[in-house]
Amino acid sequence: MDLFLELEIVYIVIGIFILSITAFVTSRDFVPAGAFKKGMLSVGAFVTIMIVAHYNVTTTRMSNVEKMFLEGQTIICENKMRRTISRSVLLSQKLGWRVENHLFKNPDYERDFHTSRCIEWTEVDQDLKEKTNDRFKIKEEKK
C-alpha cells in the first residue's frame, strides 16, 4: 500500500479535483436530473481505471528494470536535477550503483534514482551504427 501511495498520490489528488469539478457542474440547475449520479459514476470509474492501469504499468516496468539491473545490464534514468539537453544518467553495477528499496544508490553520486523513473537501456545495433556512419561519411565527403 505504501508503494501505491508513493507512486499514485499525485494522480489520486488530480482525480479528486476532477471529481469535484464533475460534482459542481452536474449539480447545477440547468443540468438534467440524474446527471450527478451518472457523471460521478462514469468519471469516477474512468479515473479509477486510469490510476490502476498506471500503477500496473509502472510497477511492471520497475520490476523489469530491477531484474535487468541485477542481471548486470545498464539502466537509463531521468535526471531532473540537471537542466541540460541530456537529462539522463546511465546506471549499472559496474559503475558502483546498487538497488535498495526501489532506489538506485551510489555513494559517489549526490542523489538516488527511483526505479519508477528508469527504463532499460539497449545499445544501438551495430548494423544501424554502420549505416549511420556511412551516411555521415557521404555527407562529409560532399562538403
In a domain, 125, yes or no: no
Task: Give me the percent of the chain exceeding a pLDDT of 70.
Answer: 80
Higher pLDDT, 30 or 130: 30
Domain membership flag for residue 142 = no
How many structural domains is the chain composed of? 1
**CA 67 distance to own-chain centroid:** 17
Which tens digits make up the pLDDT trace of 93-118?
Answer: 888 899 988 899 988 888 888 888 88
Residue 136 lies in a domain: no
- Residue 91's beta-bridge partner residues? 75
132 pLDDT exceeds 70? no
Q: pLDDT higher for 108 or 41?
A: 41
Domain coverage including residue 87: 2-120
Asked whether residue 84 carries a pLDDT value surpassing 70, the answer given is: no
* 138 within some domain: no
Q: Is residue 133 part of a domain?
A: no
Query: Which of 44, 90, 111, 99 minimizes the C-alpha distance to 70?
Result: 99
User: Is 7 inside a domain boundary?
Assistant: yes
Buried b (16+ CB within 10 A) or exposed e, 49-85: eebeeeeeebbebbeebbebbeeeebbbbebeeeeee
Residue 132 lies in a domain: no
Q: Which residues pair with 119 in a beta bridge?
A: 76
